[in-house]
Amino acid sequence: MWNKNTLCDLVSEKMSGYHFVVVSNREPYIHVHEKGEVRCQVPASGLTTALDPVMRACGGTWIAHGSGGADREMVDEKNRIAVPPKEPKYTLRRVWLSKEEEAGYYYGFSNEALWPLCHISYTRPEFKEDDWNTYYRVNRLFANTVLEEVGDKKAFVFVQDYHLALVPGFLREAGNIITAQFWHIPWPNPEAFRICPWQTEILDGLLGNHLLGFHIRYHCNNFLDTIDRAIEARVDRERYEVQRRGLKTAVRPYPISVDFDELNQEAQQPSVEEEVQSLKKRLELGDVVVGLGLDRIDYTKGIPDRLKAFDRFLERWSEYRGKVVFIQAGVPSRVHIGVYKALNEEVDNLIEEINWKHSSDHWKPIIYLREKLRPLTLTALRRMANFCVVSSLHDGMNLVAKEYVANRFDEDGVLLLSPFTGASRELPDAIATNPYATDHFAAAIKEAVEMPLHERKRRMRRMRQMVRENNIYKWASDMISDLARFEFGEG
């Protein structure tokens, strides 16, 4: 079973003599001003949730955009800070971006073009030349920062996600760097991808990697198909490799996961039970069945769809009025983008409507915690939820599902999971719930509410075993082992 120690051993065996560098847009720790003080926050992001434990285990340098209002005050003259603040284990190197750069690179090309391009959720991507130029410039800036950090040391650089697709191309010429990238979102089929006016540049950037990872094999196949159609390259489907201009890139699936042991233990702390009791009191829950949705508020997560299904459930099985409460928790995200503003409004309106339609003097069907919740509260919510709903329209993996399972040390709780998430391939014991089929979804909620204890336990035990074995350390170890095999000529 993989854990922190086995990962550390692997890193020192395979990567000794190499400087380990992670590059991502989002930083794992953000410093902000709050009530006259500087506070350190952990962002609501699947990527940082997954990689922070890996960096704690391996050490090294994490390069990311310094986005917090107090970030500049906290770094040294080389823009570095040791993190986690309470028990430093690695170095965070912050990259500064102007408002215009952030607008064009992050909100613009990354999130108005690439994000909707890669997710099938029927939101049209917007391709603006200015955004693309800024994306190119910012990727160059990140690559230069890597080169500066690494110098002439031998380094293993692990690039994250769709914000930085061009970085590996810029690094490939440096002979002392081995580059891997993990693409945290789906890769679409070639028909969908070819609408991107800069598809060649993006593919060329990604083929700067020695190793390119996706969550599932289906996305690897889509990527190989895209290469085959879009550019001149040799695609070896047996070995899952691409050769272009004499360079070779291996393409592999690595289903990302969570730190099972930590989440499992965390949930057993007495403070969590206290938080459960205090939440029950504060939210006036009484003795009801609790459902939970916990997401970054994003149009790919199917939040309106699950609210509509809950509404249908209460309409069709009205005997459950007063007996079930659905808590939707989560932070608004990317609020500068029009479709996200519209989504927030849609969610607000739907909740108001559904609550108005069904509520009584003593009961309100939906509680919306529209705020960034502290980790203790998130754990308490997962612990007390009788069922948890993950209804993504499309999702690379989805860590919320795995966190729910890992927190349930009591082996109770039901997971409703969209088949359009990467996680659904590993968790067949969840109730498969199609967010597009409202009646079917409503019936799935009924099934969850009525599922007998022995069946809940049987399913939860199996899901926990899966997440325990395929944890975040296995994900990192698999990528590092593969990389070592390809680049150091083993096996």
Work out how close the CB of 63 gets to ligand GDG at its nearest, in angstroms, rounded to a whole number. 18
Nearer to ligand GDG, 299 or 320 (CB): 299
Per-residue binding letters, 403-432, with ligand GDG (x by CB under 6 A): x-----------------------------
Asked if 306 and 293 touch (Cβ cutoff 8 Å), the reply is yes
- The secondary structure of the chain in percent helix, strand, coil, rounded to multiples of 5, reads 50, 20, 35
Nearer to ligand GDG, 75 or 373 (CB): 373
H-type alpha helices, 367-471: 375-384, 399-407, 438-450, 453-469
Residue 51 in the binding site for ligand GDG (CB under 6 A): no
Contact 230, 188 (CB under 8 A): no
Which of 262, 447 has the CB closer to ligand GDG?
Answer: 262
31: nearest Cα among 78, 83, 77: 83
Site string for ligand GDG, 225-264 (x = CB under 6 A): -------------------------------x--------
Among 27-35, 99-107, 371-379, 468-476, which window interacts with ligand GDG (CB under 6 A)?
Answer: 371-379
How far, in Å, are 66, 100, 197, 235, 375 from residue 134 at the CA level?
A: 17, 8, 15, 31, 35
Q: Which is nearer to ligand GDG, 147 or 397 (CB)?
A: 397
Of positions 25, 49, 61, 121, contacts ligand GDG by CB under 6 A: 49
Place of tokens 């810029």: 170
Q: Is residue 45 involved in binding ligand GDG (CB under 6 A)?
A: yes
Under DSSP, the state recorded for 394 is: S
* 383 near ligand GDG, rule: CB under 6 A: no
Q: Closest approach of Cβ 211 to ligand GDG, in Å?
A: 16
Q: Is 290 in the site for ligand GDG (CB under 6 A)?
A: no
Cβ atoms of 186 and 150 closer than 8 Å: no
Q: Contact with ligand GDG (CB under 6 A): which of 66, 396, 413, 435? A: 396
d(C-alpha 285, C-alpha 293), whole Å: 16
Whether 385 and 291 have beta carbons less than 8 Å apart is answered as yes
User: What CA–CA distance (Å, rounded) separates 106 from 141?
Assistant: 14
Q: Does 212 bind ligand GDG (CB under 6 A)?
A: no
**61-65 and 19-23 strand pairing:** parallel
Q: How far apart are CA 128 and CA 112, in angstroms?
A: 9
Taking CB under 6 A as the rule, does residue 331 contact ligand GDG?
Answer: yes
484 touching ligand GDG, by CB under 6 A: no
Among 10, 22, 50, 74, binds ligand GDG (CB under 6 A): 50
Nearer to ligand GDG, 105 or 320 (CB): 105
Whether the CB-CB separation of 179 and 159 falls below 8 Å is answered with yes
Candidate ranges 65-73, 261-269, 326-334, 340-348; the one touching ligand GDG (CB under 6 A): 326-334
Question: Which residues of this chain interact with ligand GDG, rule CB under 6 A?
Answer: 44-47, 49-50, 184-185, 256, 294-296, 329-331, 372-373, 378, 395-400, 403
